[in-house]
Structure 1
Amino acid sequence: MLQQSTPQQTLENPDLKLWREKLLLELKQGNKASKKLLQALKKGVPLEHRGLAWQSMIGNDLRITDKLYELLLERAHLHMTQLSVMDQLEAGAFRKNLKVIEEDLHRTFGELGHFRQGNPLYQPLKNVLIAYSMLRPDLGYVQGMSYVAGCLLIFSTEQGSEKEAFRSFANLMNRELLFTFYSFDMERVNVVFHVFMNLMRDRLPKLYGVFKATNISCSIFLFEWIVALYSNIFALETSARLWDSYLFHGDYFMIKVALAICCCLEQHLIQQGVLNGSSGTGQFEMMVLLFKNVKNFVSEEGLFQALESHQACSKFGQDDYEKVKKQVEAMSNLERLI
């Protein structure tokens, strides 16, 4: 006798079904993206499939193994009781990293409380960050990393899976834009700043005019935005939706998001009657306040609407980013020769 279908089986969300039956496999295979996949990424990966989708998009080019993670944690534990003089120097650097990590944990997604001491994700996040500081002592721990690793832990296939989160975190940190910022390669960081200012000049001239009039640089906000991949300025689900597209499209999408935020803030300034090109201390302070408190002025709906349809950023792609980047790099090289 046929088993009667339950309402849950007959009314399965079509988005969930599409991801389960087709899109996860498409991501895993890594072939050219279909229109369905691109549209689905814009809508956001369903929570039920986000962990697997992110793993596929991040990959494991570094060949991080579970055993490596275990060895890194063992080595970290040994650093707490080192005996040799040589090891004491390395252990000293480790303890400095550990101190900053412990200070940052409770502030990470503080409104959610997931990473406060005594909560289930506190120790997993601490372990992931400690292990990475052992893997890359040249970088150690840098503020902002806790948000990236924390987000990976929250959305791992089994929430709190340390090994999965560490594997993804290590590979994500190896992406060019993140590594540039976390390694404080200021020559390359300044290239990114110049790229963004040039994009603002060409695509958002009114807002750019206010920046010039008030002598504001994008460095006051862009560094902070990028190192945490926007997870420190938006609600968790909003950040996760941005990651859904970033992990697939790559670094240029982070710049596109910054443009979209600026589109929204420009509209706010227009409504406030600010974009008149005048300068002054009050205007400078207002601009800093605006860009340091994006969450209060940019809604999730407004952000994704700008990404999708605002002329300044909707068609912005990898080729546009690379073109402006090459122009900035060429100008920088020319200035060094003069």
Structure 2
Amino acid sequence: MLLRRGKPHLKLPEKEEEEELEMFQVAGRGPAVQRHEESSGPMTRFRRIGRGMGRLREVSDDDTTTTELEFELSCKVINLEALQQIACCGHLDGESRATVWKLLLGYLPAERDAWEGELANNRLRYAELKEELLVNPDAEIVGQIDRDLERTHPDIEFFSGDISQSKRNRGAMRNILLLFTKLNPAIGYVQGMNEVLAPLYYVLNTDPNEQNASNAEADSFFCFVRVMSDSVDHFCQQLDNSSVGIHSTLSRLSELLKGNDEELWRHLENLKVNPQFYAFRWITLLLTQEFEFHCIMRIWDCLLSNPLGVQEMLLRVCCAMLVCARHELLKGDFTSNLKLLQHYPEIDLDYLLDTAHHLTPIS
């Protein structure tokens, strides 16, 4: 089936004669999960406000949907299906996103009366785990995590720099990653986990509720565990060739493209532009390196709100990225197409996500 939805606004990056293609290693976990330093993401309906923490806010004129969201969050029992629909349509903002993400991830129960007790128990449990397991952590792992955190969104003051708040944020993220590593010795720490954690910790730390923001480290840990439970197998090299490994997921992406745009699929197959050359990073890092940071949160609204799970929606968005670039890809050769997909061009985010939702699923 060929998906025809018109031609989106797709801004191609300027060509650089000296730029080399990144041939990602599939067998290992080295360059495949390194940070994409030169991403040029879409600038949609967002603007940066203030300084200090580098907070980001969406610009929205949809007061009706805002009222609907406020109503849903005020109910004694949250209607998760309604919340998923609101989040999926892009109607979250910095005021509500932290609470909605916690609900979508199952960290908060649907019953509002249970929130306070659930949060208190989880935060106490996190403190106990830190006290028990983070005594004398492995210096080599600490060093690797610290190096990766130093490279996490260096253009955003919240994560980078020498101010005390930035250092505290990196310290909290270090604790989360160390504790996750300690509790999952078969996987350990893998470069790129820091990038998956970053949007979660940012959203929870910038919660306008001061008590929640002050407990962002504990809450982020449990939310991170939930996100990773759906994608951690992609970080495990021993599972690469299994039914839950990265190779299987890349094959599913190829099948999804074939079912929705066979002409484009065949063109990329003939050129040998294989998914492992570009989509390995897309999938493993949940698209955190392909778009600007404020747009990542909008994409994650969709990923987390999908009732079938993060991975199902992730594959749809990845396939939509190919479909939306079909005009350029069909004209391109191996080199130009790989360069385009490894440095995905600027695109209208609403169009991309709408395309993802309208794809025909594979059986």
TM-score by length of 1: 0.72
State the distance in 2 between where 1:15 and 1:142 align. 39
Matches within 5 A, 1:127-206: 127-156=175-204, 157=207, 158-159=212-213, 161-175=216-230, 178-184=231-237, 185-186=239-240, 187=242, 188=244, 189-206=246-263
Q: Is the 8 A contact 1:16 1:46 kept in 2?
A: no
Gaps of 5+ in 2: 1-60, 109-117
Distance 1:105 1:65 in 2: 25
Q: Contact (CA 8 Å) 2:150, 2:160: kept in 1 or not?
A: yes
Q: TM-score, normalised by structure 2?
A: 0.68
Return the offset for 1:28.
3.6
**Highest RCO, 1 vs 2 (Cα 8 Å, sep ≥ 6):** 2
Root-mean-square deviation (Å): 2.7
Query: Is the deviation greater in 179-188 or in 145-154?
Result: 179-188
Distance (whole Å) between structure 2 residues aligned to residue 75 and residue 96 of structure 1: 20
Q: 1:288 aligns with which of 338, 347, 355?
A: 338
Is contact 1:73–1:130 with CA below 8 Å preserved after alignment? no
Contact 2:200 2:224 in 1 (8 A): yes
On the 8 A contact 1:27/1:57 being kept in 2, the answer is no
Range with bigger deviation, 159-168 or 69-78: 69-78
For 1:18-77, what per-residue CA distance to the aligned partner results, in whole angstroms no more than 9, with x for missing partners? 2112257498443xx24x85255312412100000000010149x982233223333454
Q: Does 1:252 align with 2:252?
A: no
- Would the aligned equivalents of 2:105 and 2:226 in 1 still touch at CA under 8 Å? yes
CA distance in 1, matches of 2:125, 2:337: 46
Q: Encode CA deviations 1:131-176: one digit per residue, 9 max, x unaligned.
A: 211221222211221122111111013447101111111122112x
- Map 1:1-338 onto structure 2 (within 5 A): 13-22=63-72, 25=75, 28-30=78-80, 33-34=81-82, 38-39=85-86, 41-60=88-107, 65-80=122-137, 94-116=138-160, 118=162, 119=166, 120-156=168-204, 157=207, 158-159=212-213, 161-175=216-230, 178-184=231-237, 185-186=239-240, 187=242, 188=244, 189-249=246-306, 250=309, 251-270=311-330, 273-274=331-332, 283-294=333-344, 297-299=345-347, 301=348, 303-308=349-354, 310=355, 313-316=356-359, 320-321=361-362, 323=363
- State the one-letter code of the partner of 2:358: K
Q: SS of the counterpart of 2:198? A: helix
| Equivalent-residue separation in structure 2 for 1:212 and 1:307 (angstroms) | 25
Superimposed CA distance per residue, residues 292-313 of structure 1 (whole angstroms, 9 cap, x where no aligned partner): 101xx132x2x431332x4xx4
SS at match of 1:196: helix
Q: Is the 8 A contact 1:225 1:232 kept in 2?
A: yes
Give secondary structure in 2 for the equivalent of 1:242.
Answer: helix
Q: Which residue of 2 aligns with 1:90?
A: none
CA contact (8 A) 1:72 1:134 kept: no
Contact 2:172/2:217 (8 A) holds in 1: yes
Partner of 2:66, secondary structure, is helix
CA displacement, residues 207-261 of structure 1 (integer Å, 9 cap, x when unaligned)? 2223222212101222211222112211122111111121121221000100111
Q: Secondary structure at the match of 1:79?
A: coil
Q: Specify whether residues 115 and 206 from structure 1 end up closer, same or farther in structure 2 by C-alpha distance, changes over 3 A only.
A: same
Give 1:114 shift: 2.4
Distance 1:254 1:213, change over 3 A: same
Residue type of the partner of 1:210? H
Runs of 4+ in 1 over 4 A off after TM superposition: 23-27
What is the SS of the residue equivalent to 1:164?
A: helix
* Pairs aligned (count): 274
User: 2: distance between equivalents of 1:22 and 1:165?
Assistant: 23
Q: Which amino acid aligns with 1:46?
A: D
Identity %: 19
Code of the residue aligned with 2:222 in structure 1: it is R
Query: Displacement of 1:113 after TM fit?
Result: 3.6
- Bigger helix share: 1
Structure 1 contact 27–53 (Cα < 8 Å) conserved? no
Contact in 2 for aligned 1:264/1:298 (Cα 8 Å):
no
Give the deviation of 1:12 after TM superposition: 10
- Flag the 1:103–1:40 CA change in 2: closer, same or farther, 3 A: closer
Unaligned runs of 5+ in 1: 1-10, 81-93, 275-282, 324-338
137 and 37 in structure 1: CA distance in 2 versus 1, 3 angstrom threshold: closer
Q: Write the letter of the residue equivalent to 2:236.
A: S
Q: Check whether the contact 2:152–2:159 (CA below 8 A) recurs between aligned residues.
A: yes
